[in-house]
Amino acid sequence: MRRWALWLPLAFFAVVLAVVGYGLVRPPDEPLRSHLVGQRLPAFSLPAALPGRPTVTGAATGEPRLINIFASWCVPCIAEAPQLLQLEAAGARIDAIAIRDTPADIARFLDRHGDPFAAIGRDDASKVQLALGSAGVPETFVVDGNGVIRHQHLGNITEEDVPVLLAELEKAR
Amino acid sequence: MRVLGFLLLAAATPAAAQTALPPAELANRQLSDPRREAQARALMEEIRCLVCAGQSIADSDADMAGDMRALVRERIAAGESPGKVRDWLIARYGDAVSYDPPWSWRSAPLWIAPLIVLAFGLWLARGLFRRRR
């Protein structure tokens, strides 16, 4: 056997060490994206979150819309509230799904941070959230008039995301 | 005084939860059918908690993990096979939601590499022993 072959195990070990080391220092993965982007919304209907207000469903609406997944207990949702108001002022229809929330808390949240929502549904056991492939709050889906999910925004909507979402809505028209 | 202390303790538990709602019914309650509960349990240990790094939904106390446990138990109680529930989750979150990734060309090195390394080690050892003789 050749002499150099004796060094191969050590070289291999060094490669393994480098891979493991990289895995340790690498920043954590970004949250999981929904694999339903490009597919039709699953059929769902939720109880209305607030009395006298319409609720959100998975049915096609004929017009593009945003579906915002939020909760009154979610701090980043407060950060994105002004941007949602901005989107609504720019003509976007925004439906909302409140995750694990109570009507009283939702009403207080909307009172304090503004209410840009056309319809709000209550998802008490995160069932619709899981059916949509959403991995956290807040998240926002762009859905076209045929009910096809066209885009998913992860995390809170910042000032820079507003034109991006408006462009996605325009593309979904 | 002691009674008051107990009352405070009883009130403290829900306050520690992340959200106002109690956990879903099947998040922490076993199914009455032990065979189905065992199936659900095995699947829960293999599904990744989406909001907590490195934990399965069986391990995690996060509200969302509780909701995912409830989903797994409900579907299995309704007669779905664990494989189908797993496929349903993978269709939404991708292979990353499972700790037992299905065979694909991307996951192939995970399974094949140890065999290659073992074969190489045997070959190396054989060469060394033969030379000694």
Q: Are residues B98 and B133 in the same domain?
A: no
| A36: nearest Cα among B50, B88, B84 | B88
Residue-number span of the structural domain to which B121 is assigned: 103-133
Which of B18, B55, B64, B85 has the most A C-beta neighbours within 10 Å, making it the best mutation to test the interface with A?
B64
Q: Distance (Å, rounded) from C-alpha A128 to C-alpha A70?
A: 12
Chain A environment of B120 (Cβ under 8 Å): 8
Task: Determine, for residues B64 and A126 on separate chains, whether the beta-carbon distance falls below 8 Å.
Answer: yes
- Local confidence band at A117 (pLDDT 50, 70, 90 cut-offs): very high
Q: Are residues B97 and B38 in the same domain?
A: yes
Q: Are residues B90 and B108 in the same domain?
A: no
* Element containing residue B107 per DSSP (H, E): none
Task: Determine, for residues A133 and B128 on separate chains, whether the beta-carbon distance falls below 8 Å.
Answer: no
**Average pLDDT score over chain A:** 93
Tell me the CA distances in angstroms from B60 to A63, A131, A154, one per residue in order: 40, 20, 22
Q: Are residues B85 and B72 in the same domain?
A: yes
Q: Are residues B96 and B108 in the same domain?
A: no
Q: Are residues B66 and B56 in the same domain?
A: yes
Q: Are residues B89 and B28 in the same domain?
A: yes
User: Which pLDDT does position B16 carry in this prediction?
Assistant: 42
The type of residue at B69 is: R
User: Which pLDDT does position B2 carry in this prediction?
Assistant: 61
Q: Is the pLDDT of residue A73 over 80?
A: yes
Q: Are residues B45 and B96 in the same domain?
A: yes
Asked if A154 reaches chain B (Cβ–Cβ under 8 Å), the answer is: no
A82 contact partners, CB below 8 Å, separation of at least 6: A114
Mean pLDDT per 10-residue section of chain B, whose length is 133 residues: 56 54 89 94 94 89 94 96 95 90 82 91 88 64
Residue in this structure with the two tokens 């009403």, named with its chain if needed: A107
Q: Distance (Å, rounded) from C-alpha A42 to C-alpha B23?
A: 24
Q: Is the pLDDT of residue A18 over 70?
A: yes
CATH at B31: 1.10.8.640
| Structure token pair of residue B4 | 């008051």
Domains of chain A: 65-171 (3.40.30.10)
Asked if A5 reaches chain B (Cβ–Cβ under 8 Å), the answer is: yes
Chain B environment of A71 (Cβ under 8 Å): 19
**N-term to C-term CA, chain B:** 84
Mean per-residue pLDDT for A109-123? 96
Q: Are A97 and A13 in contact (CB under 8 A)?
A: no
Q: Distance (Å, rounded) from C-alpha B98 to C-alpha B102?
A: 9
* pTM score: 0.80
Q: Are residues B94 and B110 in the same domain?
A: no
Residue bearing the bigger pLDDT, A48 or B3? A48
Structural domains counted in chain B: 2
Task: Determine, for residues A100 and B131 on separate chains, whether the beta-carbon distance falls below 8 Å.
Answer: no
User: Which pLDDT does position B14 carry in this prediction?
Assistant: 44
Strand partners, A96: A68, A120
Task: Determine, for residues B92 and A131 on separate chains, whether the beta-carbon distance falls below 8 Å.
Answer: yes
Q: Are residues B16 and B68 in the same domain?
A: yes
| Structure token pair of residue A89 | 């002022």
Q: Are residues B78 and B128 in the same domain?
A: no
Residue bearing the bigger pLDDT, B87 or A27? B87
